[in-house]
Structures are given as C-alpha cells and as structure tokens.
A and B are shown apart, each in its own frame.
Chain A
Amino acid sequence: MEDGPFKGRENKELFLLAMGIGFHERSQKKLKSKEGYVRTEYLSDEEKAIIKSIAISKEGDLSILLDKKKVYSIAEEYAAAGIKILSEKVFGGEYGSYIKKLESDLVQIYREKIKK
C-alpha cells in the first residue's frame, strides 16, 4: 500500500482510513503479525476517540474501555479487513480514480446518514 495515492503518507493515516472502511463494511480480519501497524503513542486524542468509539459500538458497552488491549485489537481487526477492501479499490482501477471514489463515498454517507 506504499504505492499509489498513499505514497508518502504516514502509516497511521492509512490505518485509520482502513479501520473506518472496515467498520463501515462491518468486516473484521484476525491478525497474523503486527508488521507496520500504528503505535498508539503517535495517535492524537481525537484519533484515539474514534478507535474507542468503534470498540464501544462493537461490544455494546462502555466497559470495553477497561480492556485497552481488546480496544486496539478490535481496531486492528477492522483495519486489517479494511486494508484488503482498500487495496482492491485502489489497485483495481487507475490511480486518480480512487481519490474521487473515496470522496464520492464519503459525500454519499454524509448525505444519507449524517446531514439528516
């Protein structure tokens, strides 16, 4: 994924995007290794808040926050699934089209679920 539109981007940007996509698609994937995954000390408070919210939503209870390992494990599993989806979207078409596709997906979600 270092190629294509994400060239030069930080690991964490890719991680958060992939995690978001994985969550949106409700798709998780168990991890084999942790090569290249983000380190929590590099996350901002806002980014940590997104991760925690995803874990709360998955488990249905705030008490999941007591188990930090589990919180990040859930995030990583969504990210792992999201990377696969992202890879197919990016390398399935031409370079320029993914950014437009992403924008279009986000605008659609915004219109259908958020704006109302």
Chain B
Amino acid sequence: MYFDYIELENFRQYKNTKIDFSRPEKEKNFIVIQGANGAGKTNILNAVTWCLYGEELHIGKKYPGLPVLNIDTFKELGPGKNCEVKVEIRLVEKNDRKIVLKRTLNFRKTEKGDLQTIPDIQSPYSDGSTLIMMRQTGKEWVPVSDPRFIINRLIPRSIQQFFFFDGEQLDEYFKGTAGKDIYEAISKVSQIGLLERVIEHLSKMEDSFIRNVKGLSSNAEEIRTRLETYKTSLNSQRSELTQKEDVKREAEIKEEEFSSKLRKSSVSRIPELEKQRNLLKEDLKKLESQIDDFESQRFDSLLKFAPIIFSHEALSSSRDSISVREEAGEIPPDYKRHFIEQLIKKGKCICGIDISDEEDKYRKEVERLLRDCSEISEISDEIISLNVEIGSMIGRIKDFKEQQERHGKNIKILEEDRQQKSKLLKQIDEEIAGTDVEQIKQWEMKRLEWQKIKEGIIGDIGAIKKFIERYENIQRVSESELKRELQKEGRYNRILEKLEFCKEAKKAASEIKDKIIADVRRAIEEETRKEFFGLIWKKQTYLDVKLDEDYNISVLHQSGREGIGTLSAGERQVLALSFMAALNSVSGFDVPIMIDTPLGRLSSEPKKNIAENLPNYLKGKQVSLLVTEEEYTPQVRERLFERVGRSYIIKFEEREEGNLAEVVPFVE
C-alpha cells in the first residue's frame, strides 16, 4: 500500500497544499520532502495521523494548546462565518484499489472574534472531527460505513509508530534496558492482543462459574471464600508490580541519562571514569551470573550425593546382608521357588520322573528342595543388580569431597574477582563524586539518586514476585481442593466440565501466544541482525546482534563485551533503523513508511553510509523522508538519487502570528 496524495487545507501552517506521492516508476519508491527546522515537516506526519486516527501524535512543544486551524485563515474569516480544516489522503492498495480518507473539522469565528470549534455531535473522535472513507470497487466508489474498523485492519493505531516515526526518537528503544518497550512492540506486531483477550475472558468465565455455584458444602464454601481472597490479593499485587516495573524503567532511563552526560562531559578524566564504571558494572553483572551458575552446579552435586551419604549406613548394611546370603549360597540361588512350585504342580520333574504321588520319595525330595529354597530366590536377579548399584554408589562417595572442593574453589576465585571489581567501582564512585566541578557533582548526585531508587525498587519487585508466585501456588492447590470437593457430588459434574474446558482452553491460548511471541522475537532478531550487518560500515567491530528473552537488544563487540554502549550515534541509528525495518518486515502489514528526520544527529560519514544503504532497507515499501537541508546534503542526495521518485521542498514564511507553509516540487 502507498500514499497517492496527501492534501492539507487550513491544517496548521498549511493553508492549501497537495503533495503528490504517486510513483513515476516502481523502483523510485522514495519521496523526499525537505524543510528547515520549524518549517512544517513534523506537521505533515501529524496530518497523516490526524487523518487516520483523529490525533496528532507528534505534536511538539510549539503547538500544544494551539488549534489545528491555520491562523491566517482564521484571521481572514469574517465574524459569524465558518471554515473547515481538511486533510485528505488517497491510498493505493496492493491490488491497485484506491481508498480515500477525508477528515474535516469545522470552526467558526464568533461575533466577538473568538475561535469556536463546531464538533460533529455524532463523531466518535474526541476533537469532534468527521472522517469519511470511500473505497474503490471496480469503477465505483463506495462509502465505508465504519472507517475506524477498516483503518484498524490496514494500519492499526497501536502500531502506527513503527510506520510513521521521528528518526530521532528511535534511540528510545536502546536506552537503558528498554526490553519492555520492545516486548510491547513485538506483542503489537504479533497481534496477540486477541489471544490475551481470550485468556482474560476465560479467566472471567472461570471466576463466574465458581462464584455462582449454589448449595456448596461448608468445606467447599470455605475454600471458595479463600480463593476469592487470594484472587483479590493477587490482582492487587500484580497491579503494584506493573507500577513498580514502570518506576524501575523510569529510574533506569534517568540513571542512564545522567551517566550519558558524564560520559560526554568535557571535564578531564570524567568520561573515561564513567566508561570504566559502566564496564565494571557489566563485568560485575557477568560475574554474579557466573557465580550463580557455579552455585547451582554445587547444589546439583550436593543433591546428587546427599541421599547416598545420608543413607550410607543403609547401603552398607544392605551390602552386608547380601554378602551373608551369597556366602550361604542363597544368591545366586540354585533354584528359584517358583520353578520348583511349577514342577510340583505339573507333577513331573525336569528329568522326566513322575512326582505326582505325594508319597513318592522323589516327590518328597523335590518338596524338601522347596522348603530349603529361600523366598528371596525369586528376586535374586533384583538383589544382584541392587548389589552392583550399591557398590557403584559406595565407590563414588569418595569423589564427593573432591567435587565440592573444586566447586568451592571456582566460586572463591570468582568471589575474589567480584570483591576486587566492587572495590574499584567504589573508588571510581568516590573519585567522580569528589570532583570540584559543580556540574559533574550535580550529575553524579542525580545519577546516584536514581541508582538508589532503582535498587530499592528492584528489591520491592523481587518481594512482590515471590509473593505472587507463592500465592499462585496456593491458589492452584486450593482450586484442586475445591475441584475434589465438587467431585464428591454428581450434581456439579457440568460445572466441573466447564471449569476443565476453561483451564484447557486458557492453557492452549497461552501456549499459542508464547509460541507466536517467541517465533516473532526470533524472526525480528534474525532480520535485525541481517539488516545491521548488511548496513554497518565497521563490519569487523561487531560480532552479533541479539534480542534476548527479556527483549533487550544487545550488540556483541569484538572484545566479547556488550557493545551497545560503545555504538556511535550513526551506528545506533543503523541499529534502530535495522530494528524498525525488521518490525516492518515481520509484521506483515503493507503500510507506507514516513520518517521525520532520519539522519538528524549524524555526522557526514555515517549520513552518507546510511543514505547509500537506505534504499536497501524497507525494500518494496514507499518511504517518505522528511529531511532538513543539513541532512539532505549533496552527498546524501547523490546516493539516494536513483530511488527518489518525487522531491519536494517546504516553502515557508515565518511570521509572528504563525508560519505559512506550502509544499512545492524541488527542482535541482
């Protein structure tokens, strides 16, 4: 799908402008709209989102509170007269079918000269605007009765930020641990919202079934009451957990903000110290993880040996008992009881003699053999195997001390390393805090404040998670207890079937959701990696790009360390664009892309490199770039030249009362 045209009438600084996006040739899928800062580039993005969703999603500091109506138009309006703001977009779908979206909002100038909005009282949009949608069917244009439904199918509001975005905001994805943002992005792109609603609905149904069961025994009633209490507590704790996690994320972002200021400061030693501190923190994190692994291995070993060591007496005495029986000739037995019993039963000896007569001497001999045959003859094979196992375990016990000592030694080495690094970290903390540069002191103080908030919250989060886990277990046990109570009476069979259905359906939906998310995460990781390494210019410096299970993006530096903190602005932009391209590719949505300031903060070399490779991103999609002159240098223009279908410039007039702008074709 691509934009065919966008028409703005009285929208912000655009009194009357129509931008033709149609492609002169298929390969020329780039549209470039150049404008100075403040000329109106972002408002083109805003016009698109306003038309689609009734909201300007990129409104900056300049415009909040200002009406969407062009100020010039308002000035020219006579008292008591009306006017209209309009944004019209024509889209072309894959099958060449066209869609027209027209959003309007009416205004009036009162007799006193004030501006008054005239909302459409039937409008479902908060600003009172009206949206009309027409869709081409054959040669006819057919009005669409519910445009919101169609728009949500084509370009869902929840994921629009992956198609219409500010290039300078992309960095948000990699600030601190932005795993949650990325998880949300992937959830939206995976469209698992439906599955989440299914699971939620099934849970509500379960609760309703349990709540409405009548005539329960006192035991069952007590369990039901308990379950209600657990549910309430769990819901409250889950809600608190979400809040705390939001606070933690904010603290991480703020901590990183001040750390970044320190890294970029011009005060002597501070940037190196801050970088060293970040590296040390990373190392300490790794060390803690290694120590946890070794502790886990140590515990594995203990759990393996513990039953053997605690039962050592039993093992030894059993072995002795077996030895006694071996010496007595009972193990292995000459005959098994069952075998002799069968001979007597059949009345025939293995040699063929008839022993059916109870008085027969051979019969009596066979019966004597039976009496002498130990009862354990039947399980002699088992006893022999048991003896072998016991021997093996007793033989291995001597390895116990050596293994534990080895684990202990490994842990000790890591602990010593950890202590040393912690000491170094403390020294750096003191050196930075002890600076006599006031600004650095302030930043360090703020950074530390946020670090402490973060650490406090991490503790709280840990405690809440433990509570939730514990009570989820208790809840599960209580649900099983209630089920057993209900099973005692046949009249609850139908309810039990329904509850079982809900449980199985929830499980299936959860499994499907988890699988989809995991598959999409893997696909995005792979696509991001492919794009990043296809486009990065320092190919030897980085070894891998990963999107881990916590949805944190990491870049493996050739040194083996986490490299995301070492990426330059240009490299971060490449990573961000790669990630965005991956989301687009994996999402399956065929939506045109519009990027405001894609090359904003980059120096010339990365700008040229990205521009050269930009056409390889987002292949097959229409890409509109809203760029400044500083971004769209002759070198960038040269590299994009072959793929640019249309080129525009925003002509604007800066006025005290409000700028006036127009988008006109750019002629070289």
A residues with a Cβ closer than 8 A to B are: 2-3, 5, 9, 13, 16-17, 19-21, 23-24, 45-50, 52-54, 56-58, 61-63, 65-66, 99, 102-103, 106-107, 109-110, 113-115
Contacts and interface: CB of A to CB of B under 8 A. Distances in A.
Given A103-B404, A106-B302, A106-B305, A57 B310 contact: no
Contact of B375 (A56, A57, A66, A99): A66
13 contacts: A5-B299, A9-B303, A16-B303, A50-B307, A52-B318, A57-B317, A57-B318, A66-B378, A99-B299, A99-B302, A107-B401, A113-B313, A114-B312
A110 B393 contact: no
A21 B302 CA distance: 13
A5 B469 CA distance: 14
A24 to B, nearest CB: 4
B287 interface: no
B604 to A, nearest CB: 53
Nearest to B393: A46
B390 interface: yes
Interface string B612-646: 00000000000000000000000000000000000
Given A50-B315, A52-B386, A102 B306 contact: yes
Contacts of B295: 99
Contacts of A19: 307, 311
A58 B305 CA distance: 21
Contacts of A21: 310
Given A45-B389, A57-B314, A109 B325 contact: no
B376 interface: yes
B233 interface: no
B397 interface: yes
B307 A53 contact: no
Contacts of A113: 312-313
B285 interface: no
Contacts, number: 115
A17 to B, nearest CB: 5
Given A5-B299, A62-B383, A110 B397 contact: yes
Contact of A56 (B302, B305, B314, B470): B314
B370 to A, nearest CB: 16
A20 B308 CA distance: 8
Contacts of B392: 46
Interface in B315-361: 315, 317-318, 321-322, 325
Contact of B310 (A45, A48, A49, A109): A109
B37 interface: no
Contacts of B313: 57, 113
Nearest to B387: A49
Q: Which of A2, A54, A102 has most B Cβ within 10 Å?
A: A54
Given A57-B313, A57-B318, 19 more contacts: A3-B470, A13-B303, A16-B303, A20-B310, A24-B310, A49-B393, A50-B308, A52-B386, A53-B317, A53-B318, A56-B321, A62-B325, A63-B376, A65-B386, A99-B295, A106-B305, A109-B310, A113-B313, A114-B309
A2 B317 CA distance: 33
B400 interface: yes
Contacts of B218: none
Contact of A23 (B310, B321, B376, B383): B310
B311 A54 contact: yes
A1 B404 CA distance: 24
A53 B311 contact: yes
B382 interface: yes
A98 to B, nearest CB: 10
Interface string B379-409: 1001101100110110001001100100000
Interface string B31-57: 000000000000000000000000000
Contact of B302 (A54, A57, A62, A102): A102
B473 interface: yes
Contacts of A3: 466, 469-470
B212 to A, nearest CB: 28
Contact of B389 (A46, A58, A106, A107): A46
A61 B386 CA distance: 14
Given A54-B314, A109-B312, A110-B309, A63 B375 contact: yes
A49 B386 contact: yes
B261 interface: no
Contacts of B275: none
B298 interface: yes
B379 A65 contact: yes
Contacts of A103: 298, 302, 404
Contacts of B404: 103, 107
A2 B472 CA distance: 11
